[in-house]
Amino acid sequence: MRIETVPYDHPDAQRLIEEVQQEYVVRYGEQDTTPVDIDEFTAPRGLFLIGYRHEQPMVSGGWRAHESDEPGFRDGDAELKRMYVVPRARGLGLARAMLAELERTAARAGRRRVLLETGLRQPEAIGLYRSSGYHEIEKFGVYRCEPDSRCFAKNL
C-alpha cells in the first residue's frame, strides 16, 4: 500500500469521508456530527492520509492537534478522525498500517498522545485499537454523554 498526505478536501479524501459517514448512518442512524474544520488537518497542526492499493483509494485517516485548553485534552494530543477502510479491502491489514503511519506522523510533529472516539457498534475498530496498545479513557467530545460511545488513547 502507498500512503499519501492529501488535503482534507481532496476528491479521494472526500469520497472516503462520504463513505464513512454512510457507514455511521447504517450503524448509528446518523452521520458523525463532530465539528471538523478542513484546516485542522493541515501541517503542522494536523494531517490527512489516503492509502492506495492498486492505485485505488482504500483507507483514510487523519489527526488534528489539541491542547489542554480544550475540555478532555492534554497538551500534545492528536485526535484521530475519519479512519476508514473500504469494505472490499477489509481484513488485509490496511487499517493497522494506516494507524501506525498516523501515529508516526503525529509523533514526528511533536504530539505526545493519540486519542479517538468510536462506538460499540464498531467492534472491529475497538479490536484494532485495543490490539494496537490503546486503552479506554474518559469520554470527550460531542458524544461524551452517549452510552455507546467509547474513547481510547495511546502515549506515543
- Tens-place pLDDT, residues 119-148: 999 999 999 999 999 999 999 999 999 999
- The domain spans of the chain are 2-116
Terminal-residue alpha carbon distance, the chain: 23
Q: What pLDDT does 87 receive?
A: 97
Q: What is the mean pLDDT of residues 7-26?
A: 97
Q: What pLDDT does 132 receive?
A: 98
The pLDDT mean for the chain works out to: 97
Answer for the pair 16, 84: CB distance below 8 angstroms, yes or no: yes
Q: What pLDDT does 15 receive?
A: 98
Which residue bears the cell 500500500? 1
* Percentage, residues of the chain above pLDDT 90: 99
Q: What is the mean pLDDT of residues 76-99?
A: 97
Burial of 2: CB neighbours in 10 Å, binned 0-12, 13-18, 19+: exposed
Q: What pLDDT does 24 receive?
A: 96
Domain boundaries 2-116, CATH class = alpha beta
Q: What is the mean pLDDT of residues 109-127?
A: 97
Predicted confidence (pLDDT) per residue in 24-42, tens digit: 999 999 999 999 999 999 9
